Structure 1
Amino acid sequence: MDLLQGKTAIITGASSGIGVGIAKELAKEGANVVLAARSKAKLLEVEKEIKAEGNGKVVTAQTDVTNKQEIEILVKKAEEAFHHVDFLVNNAGQMLSAAVRSGKIEEWETMIDVNIKGMLFGIHAVLPTMLERSSGHIINIASVSGLEVTKVSTVYSATKFAVRAISTGLEKELARTGVRVTNISPGMVDTAISDVTSSNNDRKKLETQDIAKAVIYAVTQPDYVNVNEITVRPV
């Protein structure tokens, strides 16, 4: 299908898990995809897979989302390759030791830097041009942990509450500008992270494609429709 033919999407955290699923689904719909992550080798593997499927055009950019300059270079590379950015998918995230009693301050800082600051840097880099064009869509990948807090998720949940808060406020800031904002909160998805963190195996985990289809749903709505919030949970 070619629902997104000619559109360009940047996907952060695109070297594994949900990011790969989103990138492949966007490419399947004809979008040009710009893959961003820290691992160049993994990015090249994903690029090869997308090209083998023959859908859309793909560019990779080794990027640390906690580095503002690298994010700006990423956006410039996307614009040079495809003229402008239609969609930014802020997917890069870290789920580390999140209980306050653990005292793992460096891991808390990493989650704050990646999950919150990385998202803000991406938004900051694409927003001026989107506003100039009166067109664009920012998709922030949060988590059900941004809706509920457990005794072991305190700091991680705080970062994902922040993602949802920023998404909500930004949607209001951008009302009637032509730039849309969608927050997507996945439940447990079958990824390497969930294999490490999940202690509840009595339900089938979500597939990465389930989250990717939520992205497709949001970005393929008519221009006058803004899907603000999607929560996707296992049954």
Structure 2
Amino acid sequence: MKISNNYIPVPVKGKRILITDGTTGIGRAMAILLASQGARIMIFGRHQRSIDKTMMAIGDLETETECFSMLADVANKKDLDRIFYMVDCMFGGLDILINNFHTPFESKMEGTYEEWQYIINNNLLGYIACCNEAIKRMKSHQRGHIVNIGPIDADVQAKGNAVYVAAMAGIRGFNKHIRKEVNEHGLKVSLIDPGIVDSDMIMDGDVKLRKKMAAMEILKADDIAMTVMHCLSQPHTAISLPDNQSSVQSV
């Protein structure tokens, strides 16, 4: 990664940040790290127990911070409306959106229409809808940053996950083109493809995959959180170009 050394990192203290599915794995790690730096955080998820666990971890931080949470499913339009209504009520606007939700369950072509629809709604349409709502709020002050956490699945093309992989490929394509649309409004859009990460999603997943991963040195959720922090700390005009990237391998 070629990055200029002549810059002063931009602090996230006081920034209004919405983290989708910020209650487990990568999302939880990001919420805790950003809150520790004084950012104003809002998180949501589908399970109250996970929300409570994350809020407790943030509450244990020594740094004074402001964090709100709610039970919501981004695949549900009414929940999506509630989320951004709360953003307006609590924050009065939005500086940063971090899109992080993924629902990677088996999605063979033998599945039902309803199963395909849920995968697309939760993984692709949810990203698009959240970006749209965030952009509405960022345009007014010509400043904002959207970070989409994407998977490497669109390249690996894991067997038995055709519909999920299609949704992930859609996120990558959407990210490339939405950047062109919002650039003239002073907004930044970033995509981080972490690949396989040792997180709750993996621990709850396929037994064979967990056994293979036990013999590998893989990224942790905290590693991705630090990458996001680095991305957010870049000056508004900074451009980072990937260099000497590793190749994708099937696991």
Q: Tell me the TM-score normalised to structure 1 length.
A: 0.89
Is the contact between residue 18 and residue 191 of structure 1 (CA under 8 Å) also seen in structure 2? Answer: yes
Check 1:109–1:145 CA distance in 2 against 1; reply closer, same or farther (3 A cut).
same
> What letter is aligned with 2:20?
T
Q: Closer, same or farther in 2 for the Cα pair 1:226/1:31, shift >3 Å?
A: farther
- Measure how far apart 1:167 and its partner are: 0.5
3-state secondary structure, aligned to 1:133: coil
- Contact kept in structure 1, 2:151 and 2:168, CA below 8 Å: yes
Distance 1:41 1:95, change over 3 A: same
User: Deviation per CA, 1:110-135, whole angstroms, max 9, x where unpaired?
Assistant: 22111011111211212112011101
- Equivalent positions of 1:79-118 (< 5 A) are 79-100=88-109, 102-103=110-111, 105-118=113-126
Residue equivalent to 1:203: 216
Selected match of 1:192 from 182, 193, 200: 200
Structure 2 CA distance for aligned equivalents of residues 234 and 148 of structure 1: 7
Relative to structure 2, which stretch is displaced further, 145-154 or 24-33? 145-154
Structure 1 residue 60 and structure 2 residue 69: aligned? Answer: yes
**1:222 is matched by which residue type in structure 2?**
P
SS of residue in 2 equivalent to 1:97:
coil
**Equivalent position to 2:180, from 172, 178, 197:** 172
Larger radius of gyration: 2
**Counterpart residue number, 1:217:** 230
Q: Aligned in 2, Cα 1:2/1:171: closer, same or farther, shift over 3 Å?
A: closer
Report the TM-score, using the length of structure 2 for normalisation. 0.84
C-alpha displacement at 1:215, in angstroms? 1.0
CA distance in 2, matches of 1:184, 1:175: 18
CA drift of 1:79 comes to 2.6
The letter of the residue matching 2:75 is T
Which range moved further: 39-48 or 112-121?
39-48
How far 1:153 sits from its partner (Å)? 3.0
**Structure with higher RCO (Cα < 8 A, 6+ apart):** 2
Q: Distance in 2 between matches of 1:83 and 1:161?
A: 33
Q: 1:154 to 1:74 in 2, by over 3 A?
A: same
Quick one: distance in 2 between partners of 1:167 and 1:48?
A: 33
Q: Give secondary structure in 1 for the equivalent of 2:180.
A: helix
Given candidates 22, 25, 31, the residue that maps to 1:14 is 22
Q: Report the number of matched residues.
A: 234
Percent identity for Structure 1 against Structure 2: 24
SS at match of 2:188: strand
RMSD, aligned CA: 2.6
CA deviations on 1:44-66 (whole Å, 9 max, x unpaired) are 22112101113321101221101
Deviation at 1:70, TM superposition (A): 1.9
What does the per-residue CA deviation read over 1:188-223, in whole Å, with 9 as the maximum and x for residues that have no partner?
A: 111232132325223122110111111111111101
Residue by residue over 1:127-167, the C-alpha shift from the partner in whole angstroms, topping out at 9 and shown as x without a partner, is 11201110111111110112331333322211111111111
Given the alignment of the two structures, is residue 156 of structure 1 paired with residue 164 of structure 2, yes or no? yes
**1 CA distance for matches of 2:176 and 2:248?**
24
